[in-house]
Amino acid sequence: MPSHPFHLNVDLIMLGTQFRDVHATLDVYAAEMGPNHRKYLHDDGAVSFIYFSFESHMAAWSAFYHIVLDRVSDRVSSDSCIAEFLFLRDQGVIPEYDCGNAPPLLLDTY
């Protein structure tokens, strides 16, 4: 499971800024539930919730990337999750930030 610094680094790479409050919101149950916290606030509904809560497309993209990085980490480990995330981005699997639009629906391919 990637720690918040991993998510903040992805924010910097993909968005040029960090969204600490987005990650804190998505992981609000992590301390008491461990990895099981992803049953909550780690789906398309969470991305929408972040968009409407922060009134920001960029914040929604941060939430989208947070969830995708978590899924990538589950497949390859937290040690190499950012490298794999960037590889998938370069392959066109993970979409680039689009400032005028909300992120796409989450796919099972991440």
- What are the tens digits of pLDDT across the range 20-69? 999 999 999 989 998 889 899 999 999 999 999 999 999 999 999 999 99
pLDDT higher at 9 or 35: 9
Decide if 9 contacts 81 (C-beta within 8 A). no
pLDDT of residue 82: 98
Q: What mean pLDDT is reported for the chain?
A: 95
2 band by pLDDT with thresholds 50, 70 and 90: very high
Q: How far is CA 70 from CA 55, 99, 100, in A?
A: 23, 23, 25
- Quick one: how far is CA 25 from the chain centroid? 12
Q: Tell which residue, 88, 102, 101, 85, has the closest CA to residue 46.
A: 102
Average pLDDT over residues 81-92: 97
Task: Give residue 32's pLDDT.
Answer: 94
Residues in the chain: 110
